[in-house]
Structure 1
Amino acid sequence: MIGKLKGLVDSYGDDHVILDVQGVGYLVHCSARTLQALPSVGEAATLFIETFVREDMIRLYGFVSQAEKSWFLLLQNVQGVGSKVALSVLSTLSPSELANAVALGDRAMVARANGVGPKVAARIVAELKDKAPGFADVDPAVAGLAASLDEKRAPAPVADAVSALVNLGYAQIQASAAVAAALREGGEEADTAKLIRLGLKELAR
């Protein structure tokens, strides 16, 4: 089983790279993010490999990090998510962005990927939330705030402040993080206007 390949970039395709390893060209399927991160033709590159073996084919999938590879495998545990959809998600979101989206229950963020509808995005968030905490680097205050908003337990000023920031064009995860920081600075008694003001100050940093 191939775990890693190190060689020279021979050529690129729409969804793959051919890596020349001591004269043998390996066709490796990758996410768009991975392809963009690889060097120019003729330069050295290293990819972590996941090998899929079936009766009619052997297919290699490559990743620039172990975290990306782990998410690729985790995603395929979700009903309706195969290798193509998993690569699409990883083409749209970096491992850290995906970790945050899952930890915060941000289905809209996941649904940005091509081929991922609202139902599949909801399943990804729900089914992976307890399986992937090790990959996330999420502020506990942000995660707690997101859970409160999801369960409609957040105080009205907090919910209103997050909603206002989202209406201004910020992503849910950004708005939640900004308001969580605003709460720490302004205190539990801060009203909506103050939370919005402090949240915008946080987002401007």
Structure 2
Amino acid sequence: MIAKLTGLLDDFGPDWAVIDVAGVGYLVHCSVRTLEAMGARGDRATVFTDLQVSENDMRLVGFASASERDWFRLLTAVQGVGSKVALAILSALTTEELQRACANGDAAMVARANGVGPKLAGRIVNELKDKAGGLPAAPGTVPGPGAAAAPAASASADAVSALQNLGFKPAVATAAVARAADELGEDAGLDALVRVALKRAAG
């Protein structure tokens, strides 16, 4: 699976971009926020990706951060939320706002997104309320019971994402990386964090 792309921003539209990686153009569907983060045509861009496969379609979805990709995966796991609706929500809300809305049961905030009615918004916050605590805590939110906030360092965030890609649940990955960071110190590199966190998660 393609997990990340780094290349030149070749072209873009309202909800898509073409990233040129060594002469190969990848069509990536994105939220408005991700498109804004990419810059102008010709700029070097990095996007985290998720491959969506259905019976009659295959599309690569891109994100400015691993956190945005994690939320996209949570959203599309909710019945009635496809990739287009999930991207609309991530266009309307930052990941911090989305986490706060789910943690506080604020369906009205989620309903601000295009194509999201009150009923669907209610279902989203109800289903993701507990899972919201398993992701790195956003400013102004309190992690759910038993959930450990991930360290702020980018290496820790990448380590959490790596463990989740290996199949660990968000709460388990976050807690394991937090313990690894405590053991190794603030300057720990990604490889060391992942190695120690895997031992803690599997223990």
Same fold, judged at TM 0.5 (above): yes
**Structure 1 residue matching 2:114: 3-state secondary structure:** coil
**Structure 2 residue matching 1:103: 3-state secondary structure:** helix
Residue aligning to 1:124: 124
Residue aligning to 1:183: none
Indicate the percent of aligned positions where both proteins have the same amino acid.
59
**Structure 1 residue matching 2:14: 3-state secondary structure:** coil
Residue aligning to 1:64: 64
Residue aligning to 2:10: 10
- Relative to structure 1, the CA distance from residue 55 to residue 127 in structure 2 (aligned partners, 3 Å threshold; closer, same or farther) is closer
Gaps of 5+ in 1: 144-205
Q: Which amino acid in 2 is paired with 1:2?
A: I
Q: Which amino acid in 2 is paired with 1:105?
A: G
Query: What pairs up with 1:185-204 in 2 under 5 angstroms?
Result: none
- Relative to structure 1, the CA distance from residue 139 to residue 132 in structure 2 (aligned partners, 3 Å threshold; closer, same or farther) is closer
Q: In 2, Cα distance between the equivalents of 1:110 and 1:78?
A: 13
Q: In 2, Cα distance between the equivalents of 1:99 and 1:25?
A: 33
Q: In 1, Cα distance between the equivalents of 2:124 and 2:22?
A: 39
TM-score of the pair, normalised by structure 2 = 0.67
TM-score of the pair, normalised by structure 1 = 0.66
Gaps of 5+ in 2: 145-203
| Farther-moved stretch of structure 1 (129-138 vs 95-104) | 129-138
Residue aligning to 1:96: 96
- Relative to structure 1, the CA distance from residue 70 to residue 23 in structure 2 (aligned partners, 3 Å threshold; closer, same or farther) is same
Alpha-carbon displacement from aligned partner over 1:12-69 (angstroms, at most 9, x marks no partner): 1121000000000000000011111111101100000101223433210000101100
The reply to whether residue 30 of structure 1 matches residue 19 of structure 2 is: no
Q: In 2, Cα distance between the equivalents of 1:101 and 1:8?
A: 35
- Relative to structure 1, the CA distance from residue 27 to residue 35 in structure 2 (aligned partners, 3 Å threshold; closer, same or farther) is same
Q: Which amino acid in 2 is paired with 1:45?
A: A
Residue aligning to 1:106: 106
Stretches of 4+ moved more than 6 A in 1?
Answer: none
Residue aligning to 2:115: 115
**Structure 1 residue matching 2:59: 3-state secondary structure:** strand
Kept in 1: contact 2:103–2:141 (CA 8 A) = no
Q: In 1, Cα distance between the equivalents of 2:11 and 2:114?
A: 25
Residue aligning to 2:84: 84
Higher Rg of the two aligned structures? 1
Residue aligning to 2:181: none
